[in-house]
Amino acid sequence: MKNRTTFRVIYKDTDAEGVVYYANYLGWFEAGRGELLREHNISLTDLKNKENLVFAVRDLQCEYLKPAVYDDEIIVETEIANLSPARIVFSQKIIRKKDSEILTQATTTLFPINLKTFKPTRMPESVSRQISEFISMSNRSQETTSS
């Protein structure tokens, strides 16, 4: 299932020419991942406070295709591409709203860390199951749409 979150490019996101500074896309990607999980009732705050678990970025591959500029409305589109008990892989795009142009796309791999030991750990079964369920629902919905 995809989450689509909209932002407007503000002055602080840009360089002197009004073009979005490349690192700012990473913050929008992070916000998109958080919104996707929140939309499916997975609270990162609860995972931290109740399970002593946080997610860390293991790998990020980002392709910058076209620039966003000051005052553009952008859509961050996020979906889970792969899931295992040891990692979540997100596929993301930043799209300019007015013309649906894909500006940037990324694949980000996160892994769970135990806050007490700061070592990689497995996701709680309940979280894996919950994510798997909405991936399955998404796949069924896509099959129905493409039929």
Task: Give me the active site residues, please.
Answer: 15
How many other C-beta atoms are found inside a 10 Å radius of the C-beta of residue 13? 22
26: closest CA among 65, 64, 81? Answer: 64
- Distance, in Å, from the CA atom of 111 to the CA atom of 84, rounded to the nearest integer, reads 9
- Distance, in Å, from the CA atom of 14 to the CA atom of 2, rounded to the nearest integer, reads 27
Q: Give per-residue burial for 109-120: e unless 16+ CB within 10 Å, then b.
A: bbbbbeeeeeee
- Distance, in Å, from the CA atom of 10 to the CA atom of 96, rounded to the nearest integer, reads 14
Q: What angle do CA 57, 60, 66 make, to 5 degrees?
A: 140
